[in-house]
Amino acid sequence: MILLQHIGDIVKFDLDVSGVQLCSYADIDRWMLYVTRYGVKKLILNMSKNISSTYKVPSYIFDCQTLTQLELFNCIFKPPNSFLGFQTLTILHLKEVAFPPAIEFYAIKTPLLVKLILTHCDGTQYLNIEFSSGLKYLSVRESHYNLDLNSNYFKNVKKLTYLYLVIDNPIPVDERLTLEKLIFSSPTLETLCLSQYELELLNAGKVLKGLHYALNCLWHLRLGVNFNKLGQTCYTLKLIKSLPNLSKLEIWDNAFGDPDEAVLKYLDAPSCLDRTLNKLEDVSIHVFKRSKNVLSFIKLLFAYAPSLSRMSIKPKNASSSKEELNVATELMRFPRVSPKAKLFYYPTVGLKAE
């Protein structure tokens, strides 16, 4: 009743009922109808999971011509047949949103879109977002492969500054060229985040030749790497040494399966890292599993980064104090080409090493 008595435009409406037991969505539908009639620009809906049916985005949200920011969490997204797109939208964030099966793509025209985030959505293979080349921020996180990279989905993306692309399952081999084009056709890219499956796919290509010209602006690199796989390890090193302005590196140790002895042999070879990493200042190793391969990788970075100031190691699981101390001691003994390089080791058993 208070909302319906509001006088004037509603610029922003942020509703979070994620922890509320709802019996019906009738009130929420009324609120959505009201705010879309009163010029809402920023609309954020975080819906409940405690009801037998998931909230379906009502048609009047798709008809709202004033929206500049739309964030939907735990909803069903099905535009009406008459939907012409979000003509004024600059930010679109969809998390745990379901796109029902469709014969044709859900074509969404967003000519002004600058930021797009898709997180754990279902049915994105039915989605085709048509945006201009002005998109700068793209984040896609999926727990299973849904996205069709070979569609027109990323056709006009050429001015990205931020790309987060993490798929938790293997990507079809025939989509490698599209993935390469997405990454290496954005000369303005500053931050890049890839999972082990993108690394595995990219390793099959030859695009790294001349890469330092393509990604001259990239300074922040985040990678999930299975250091038990030779292909991923090789591509990681090639990518790192091909970025002339890389200053911040984050690595998630995703190693599983049996170690490949060829990886350790490769990391110990003189040609493994034959270029000085002059700009690298900050390195973080997350979920560190204390494997010889990862230790050799860290040793390389210490030896080839003359500007390194911080190396942060965050182990995965708690171990005995003695084991943690042995690992920290080994890390501290690695030669450091940078006189200001500090090691920060964060075990979960109370030991602190610097």
Contacts of 73 (CB under 8 A, 6+ apart): 18, 45, 46, 47, 95, 96, 97
Over residues 174-192, mean pLDDT: 82
Q: How confident is the model at residue 338 (pLDDT cuts 50, 70, 90)?
A: very high
pLDDT digits (tens, 9 = 90+) for 260-304: 789 999 998 888 888 899 999 999 999 888 888 999 999 999 999
Q: What is the mean pLDDT of residues 202-227?
A: 78
Per-residue pLDDT tens for 244-266? 999 999 999 987 777 778 999 99
Return the structure tokens found at 143. Answer: 């727990």
Tell whether the model's pLDDT for residue 350 goes beyond 60. Answer: no
Q: What is the share, in percent, of the chain residues with pLDDT greater than 70?
A: 90
Mean pLDDT of the chain: 86
pLDDT tens sequence across 98-156: 988 877 777 788 999 999 999 999 888 787 777 777 899 999 888 665 666 555 556 66
In this prediction the pTM is 0.88
Check residue 176 and give its pLDDT.
73
Length, in residues, of the chain = 354
pLDDT tens, position by position, 34-72: 999 999 999 999 998 766 788 999 999 999 999 999 999
Q: What is the rounded distance in angstroms from the CA atom of residue 124 to the CA atom of residue 72?
A: 15
Higher pLDDT, 93 or 103: 93
Give residue 95's pLDDT.
94
- Residue, of 207 and 298, whose pLDDT is higher: 298
Amino acid at position 73, single letter: F
Lowest mean pLDDT among 60-69, 88-97, 173-182, 200-209: 200-209
Local confidence band at 212 (pLDDT 50, 70, 90 cut-offs): very low
Residue 211: is its pLDDT beyond 60?
Answer: no
**Spatial contact of 86 and 92, defined as CB atoms under 8 Å apart:** yes
